[in-house]
Structure formats: structure tokens, C-alpha cells
Amino acid sequence: MPLAVRVPYLRLSLPVLLALLLVLGSPGFAGAVDRPVVELSKTQASTGGSVTVRGSGWRPRALLTLLVCGQAEPKRGVTGGTNTCANAEGRAVTTGADGRFRRELPVVEPPVPCPCVVHVATVTGAEAEADAALQVAGHAVEPLPAEAAGGRLSLLADTRLRGSGGLLTWFGSPPARTLVVTVGNVGTSPVRNPVFQVGIAHGVYAPEWQDQRWRGTIRPGGKARIELPVELGAGAHGDYTVSLKYGGKVLAEHPWGVGRPWGVTLFWGLVLLVVPVALFRAGLAVIDHLRPRRPGHAARPARRLPLPPAHRPSVTPWFAPDGDPPGSTGT
């Protein structure tokens, strides 16, 4: 009979208990429950000074950005996106092998009023972010809008890209699609005219974010279908990833495979083939025109066509039709 361990309201056999302990103590499980953490040397500072930012629980050897952002709270994140941050005065840091970092960050006024935070986010690889509250002395403070404080959007349906390429895309025109998602308001306040961030990442590079406002109101407990345009550059091809972010959190991601514009290759192939042939023929024509002609090749006189019988001149025969020619002897 297998040995068992009695626990209040639970009875586990010894092999099951050992397996559970191994899973809980494994590094992979420990990393799964860890969350990135950001700490500041002081929670209030004036512009012109600096604060020491420390972090732990991040991915080893990860590149991070540090920004001072306004209209944000640690629990809600950067509600207005990176447009509310002092991007020019930001700093970058690479975490160590243990996922920790330490970096000095200058204190500057963000472009929007406080509440302010120090926002730390990954640049490449899996996305992760964390915030720490910071009071910027002397900077204006305005409460967050009701929809930003109490309205929360969550993804309800699968993300898809609507649209397809055409003949112009085959010849290098910018590929365009429509990002379609269904979101619901799980907060306690309505969300009016939310500003989403649409990011496009190519391969392993970090996404480039662009703010797009959706016109409408999502009531608490309600849902809405969001359609946002997405467009790449001319001649773009390869594997892309389209991401949707709201309130500093990524709601959805969708892959986008863009085919190579072979029409451009065909066009340049024809150009490289036709242009040399045309130049060669033009050169031959010029040489033939400028080459001096030899006497044997002089122009011959026009050939005269024979006249019809009615227009031929009459010729008197030198002998009579009924007689013999002169000098002949009749028989």
C-alpha cells in the first residue's frame, strides 16, 4: 500500500507530493511567477535632479528603456502611450544575468500633467513592462479621466486582418490591411473615444507604435468591434507582427506574412533587357548613317519600264513584206 501524507481536506500519496514539490521548485516555474519589479531611490524629486532606478525579475540580458511619463499610475500603466513621456531624456540599460539592473535617470517634466511614473519596458524580445510612481515637484497635476481610471478594455474575440493585396501591391505599392478586434469594457466607467496603439514589428525587431483614436463609447459591460487601418511601407515583404495596445498593455497580436513584390523584379528585368537592345540598335543606325559610301555602292539609275505596244514608235522594216531581202536570190 503506497505511503500517503494527510493534509487537512487533502490526501496526497508520497510520489504525487514529491512530483508537486519538484514542479514548484523548478526554475521554469519560478520564472513564470516572477514579475518585473521597478524601485526608485526616492519617490519625489525636482526637475534637474536624478533618481536611481533599480529593477529585478526581468529577462536576463534584456535591453530596457526608462522614461518619465505623465497621466499614468502604476496600477493602470501609461494610459496615453509613449506620447505622454519625455522620450528625448529617456535612458537605456541592459539587465544582468540575474535579471537585475541599476541606472540613473534624470528627472524632467513630461509633456502632460502628472500623476507621473517611471516607465520601464523591454525593447526587443518578449514584451514586459513595469512602473513606479514618481512625484515631479513643481509640475502640474491633473486627475486621470474617469474612463482612464475606471474603464478597462479586454479582448473578447480573435484578432484578424481583413483585406488582401492587389496588382498594385504586386508592383511595390504599400500593403494595407484592416485590424479587426472585439473588445469589452470590464471596468466600472464608460470608455469614450479610446486611443489605441497599433504596433508593427518586422522579424525579431521591436514594434513601432502609432496612436490611433477610435470614435465611440463603450459602456461598462458592453463590447464593441474595433477596426483600425494598418499599412506598411512601399515594397515591404517578409514576416510581420501586428500588435494592439491599450492603457500600456498589449491586447492582441496577429502575424502578417507579406509576399515579395515580384512585379518590381519583372519590371527591372525588362528594363535591363530592353534598354541595352534599344541602345545597340540606335548605335548601329548612327554608324550606318555616318559611314562613307564607296563608289561601287553609288545609286543606280532608275530602271525604265517597257512601254506598252500602243505607245511604241513604228519602225519601217528594211525589206518589203512581200519580197526578198536585198542580196538574196529568188528561187
Question: What's the rounded Cα separation, in Å, for the pair 179 and 228?
Answer: 5
The answer to whether 242 and 161 have CB atoms below 8 angstroms apart is yes
| 76 Cβ neighbours under 8 A, 6+ residues apart | 144, 148, 149, 247, 248
Among residues 159, 165, 202, 200, which one has the least CA distance to residue 182? 159
User: What pLDDT sits at residue 247?
Assistant: 78
- Residue 209: what residue type? W
User: What pLDDT sits at residue 26?
Assistant: 43
Question: What's the rounded Cα separation, in Å, for the pair 198 and 201?
Answer: 10
Q: What are phi and psi of 289, to 5 degrees?
A: -75, -35
> How confident is the model over 114-131, as a mean pLDDT?
88
Fold entry, domain 153-259: Immunoglobulin-like (2.60.40)
Cα–Cα–Cα angle for 226, 123, 242, nearest 5°? 25
The answer to whether 72 and 78 have CB atoms below 8 angstroms apart is yes
Q: Has residue 10 got a pLDDT over 80? A: no
Other residues' Cβ atoms within 10 Å of the Cβ of residue 189: 16
pLDDT band at 318 (very low <50, low <70, confident <90, very high): low
**Model confidence pLDDT, tens digit, residues 143-196:** 876 555 556 888 887 889 998 877 888 887 889 999 999 999 887 778 888 889
User: What pLDDT sits at residue 264?
Assistant: 74
- Grid cell, residue 12, equals 496526497
Q: Has residue 28 got a pLDDT over 50? A: no
User: What pLDDT sits at residue 32?
Assistant: 39
Domains 36-144 and 153-259 share a fold: yes
User: What pLDDT sits at residue 228?
Assistant: 93
Q: What are the residue ranges spanned by the domains of the chain?
A: 36-144, 153-259
Among residues 63, 196, 36, which one has the least CA distance to residue 122? 63
**Model confidence pLDDT, tens digit, residues 190-248:** 888 888 999 999 887 888 888 898 988 888 888 999 999 999 988 888 899 999 988 77
For domain 36-144, which CATH number applies: 3.10.180.10, 3.40.50.300, 2.60.40.230, 3.40.50.1000? 2.60.40.230
pTM of the model: 0.45
User: What pLDDT sits at residue 94?
Assistant: 94
